[in-house]
A and B are shown apart, each in its own frame.
Chain A
Amino acid sequence: MSGPALRIRGLRKAFPKVLAVDGVDLEVARGEVFGLLGPNGAGKTTTLEIIEGLTTADMGDIELLGLTWKDHGQEIRSRIGVQLQSTSLFNKITPREALDLYGSYYPKRRSTAELLALVQLEEKADAYHITLSGGQQQRLALALALVNDPELVFLDEPTTGLDPQARRSLWDVVQQIKAEGRTVMLTTHYMDEAEALCDRLAIMDHGKVIATGTPASLIADLAIPSVVELTFGGPAPDPAAFAARLGQSVERRADLWEIPTPDPKALLPRLLESAEVEVVPFQQVHIRRATLEDVFLHRTGRSLRE
């Protein structure tokens, strides 16, 4: 039980029209929650599917739990748990039946009752899959990924399309999985999710890993711990004149200006003064600490949500 849970070297995958994965190296330690963060189309899902054995890479080496797909396919499948981006089940199967059925495919399995309790689906255990809400279906998909008591769990965008409350309850389950000592690798395009769940992150864009580290270290590396935001009632005006007077770069977003700064306390008086001179019709001032969103913006010049 030594060595990393996952080691990837020089992974490449090209589709007819796009180079989806372009030389990815990753290492995930046992027991950690590792996140792949990036916008849609960054190559997160393709990377994950190659690791899960669903897609074959054009190049690169993968070792899961010290095993390779070529020599130990069946053993890997029985020791990993997978939640796909969308898990499609039969419309008229119940959670209890689905867990029993998928459990029967594995040599080692957790009890259905225990899994139902873990994802809080006891009350819906005998309802048809089609009648479950989006959050319940997603929790069932998560339970299915745990049916074989896996050492390594892959979750592909586990909370996409869920309402805030359903996301929270899913996060709880992921934290529980980590507490049980499993290794988790997940993809997400929500930075708050990455910050809340992940011990370490790889930020992906255009098929490449552009930064790796803990959420805190990634933000600290920015050397701009804080961001001052000026919000406007409507679309934000051109900040050029204001930026010149302030002597500081100003990013214009849809309805606000962002001014990254290492020292908000020193900036604020100058900022208010400049705003008054230039007659900037802002409504409110916020000071917030930098987030992973700013890390992505800084590294790529684009927003995660674009």
Chain B
Amino acid sequence: MMLWRQFLMEWRLYSRDRAAMFWTLAFPVVLLLGFGVMFRDSGGPKLSVVRVQSATATPRDAALDQALADVQLKVQVLTKTEAETRWSQGETAAQIEPDGEGYRLRLNSYLMAQAGATAGLVNQAWLVAQARLNGSPEPRRIPTQVESPGHKRATNYASFLLPGLLGLNLVSMGLFSVGMVNVSYREKGKFRRLAVTPLPKWIFLLGQVTHRLTLTVLQAGILLLVGRLVFGIQNQGSFLDLFLVMTLGTGCFMAFGFALSSFADTSEGYAAISNLVFLPLMLVSGVYFTLDSAPGWFQHAVAILPLAPFIRALRAVFNDGAGLVGHGMGLVIVAAWGLAAFILAVRRFRWA
């Protein structure tokens, strides 16, 4: 009864803060719509290559362009000066330049992931083009297909993006919103006013937690609905599994927020602390780059952080329709972090 009242009040006060409400609920939708529409037709950003014009156009150039198009590479033909400008601005990943009887390929060291994939395709295209020019039989390419770990063909980019957004939202909700709110309540003395009443601590905290949980559910619901209506994205797995993974993640990262908030006395201090945790977590969790070249011990250490297993499980359920069985270990890691953070939070919690 007390908890219900507290929960309702949290919602009522939250709903009056229109700006916070808008950004929490609408921003992920805006992101999904924006990126989803931009990359609507492809399975992600398409690879492209720049070809520098020869002094005079040759049949060899024409054959190469044709072969490049056949291997699904987007070709941009530029003059030497144009190409040089573009290259120095860092926008070109790979550039084909005429070199005597053949070509030379320049790869951008800052964009190796794209450049590497492009180089492979360019080489294939060159072999095909040569065969066509000589009238010899065309080399056969090994057929390639893009597929997710759960054996689903990539449909569109938005369906890949959506679970990532769901996950990221809830991480930032826990780490930034919950923690920040707690620090500012403590800083401004809202907690002290509560501490002199007989209201049990756990009711207040649980009221906050349930409010945030329902907010996450609402947020996820809106994202799923928009994804479905606009992009026709379906949840491939069971909604129960999705709900379980999301709840586990929300709990884990909310506990993180609570625990971290006990280490900061001011909002400014908390902003620094939460970024200190969030940024490395993002960077090393394989969201932005793979860690194949990192030392072994580092990869092992990273493997027990909660973000990567959480996002993996979420994608597996949502995009691949996998059950949770294969992700037991990952979910145990997430749960263990959540539990540890929760214990730390309760131990360190103080009203003032």
Residue A101 interfacial (CB < 8 Å): yes
Residue B86 interfacial (CB < 8 Å): no
Residues in A whose Cβ lies below 8 Å from that of B2: 104-105
A-contacting residues, B1-45, CB 8 Å: 2, 5, 9, 12-13, 16-17
Which of B13, B17, B352 gathers the greatest number of chain A CB atoms within 10 Å?
B13
Q: Are A82 and B198 in contact (CB under 8 A)?
A: no
Contact residue among A87, A104, A106 (Cβ-Cβ distance under 8 Å from B193): A87
Q: Are A105 and B197 in contact (CB under 8 A)?
A: yes
Residue A84 interfacial (CB < 8 Å): yes
B349 to chain A, nearest CB (A): 15
Contact residue among B16, B188, B193, B198 (Cβ-Cβ distance under 8 Å from A78): B198
Determine the distance from Cα of A55 to Cα of B352 in the docked complex, in whole angstroms: 9
Residue A92 interfacial (CB < 8 Å): yes
Q: Are B198 and A105 in contact (CB under 8 A)?
A: yes
Determine the distance from Cα of A80 to Cα of B197 in the docked complex, in whole angstroms: 9
A-contacting residues, B248-262, CB 8 Å: none
Interface of B, helix, strand, loop or mixed by DSSP: helix
B120 to chain A, nearest CB (A): 58
Q: Are B193 and A52 in contact (CB under 8 A)?
A: no
Contact residue among B190, B192, B195 (Cβ-Cβ distance under 8 Å from A90): B190
Q: Are A89 and B197 in contact (CB under 8 A)?
A: no
B-contacting residues, A45-63, CB 8 Å: 52-55
B-contacting residues, A61-94, CB 8 Å: 74, 77-78, 80, 82, 84, 86-90, 92-93
The bracket for how many chain B residues form the interface is 10 to 19
Interface size on A, residues (CB 8 A): 26
Contact flag A89-B196 (CB < 8 Å), given A101-B9, A104-B2: no
Which of A54, A89, A90, A107 gathers the greatest number of chain B CB atoms within 10 Å?
A90
B29 to chain A, nearest CB (A): 25
Determine the distance from Cα of A278 to Cα of B209 in the docked complex, in whole angstroms: 77
B2 to chain A, nearest CB (A): 7
Q: Are A53 and B196 in contact (CB under 8 A)?
A: yes
Determine the distance from Cα of A93 to Cα of B13 in the docked complex, in whole angstroms: 7
B258 to chain A, nearest CB (A): 19
Determine the distance from Cα of A198 to Cα of B271 in the docked complex, in whole angstroms: 45
Q: Are A92 and B16 in contact (CB under 8 A)?
A: yes
Contact flag A52-B196 (CB < 8 Å), given A88-B188, A88-B190, A104-B2: yes
Residues in B whose Cβ lies below 8 Å from that of A84: 189, 192-193, 196
Residues in B whose Cβ lies below 8 Å from that of A78: 198
Apart from A84-B193, A102-B197, what are 8 other A-B pairs with CB-CB below 8 Å? A54-B196, A54-B352, A55-B352, A84-B189, A104-B5, A105-B198, A106-B198, A144-B193
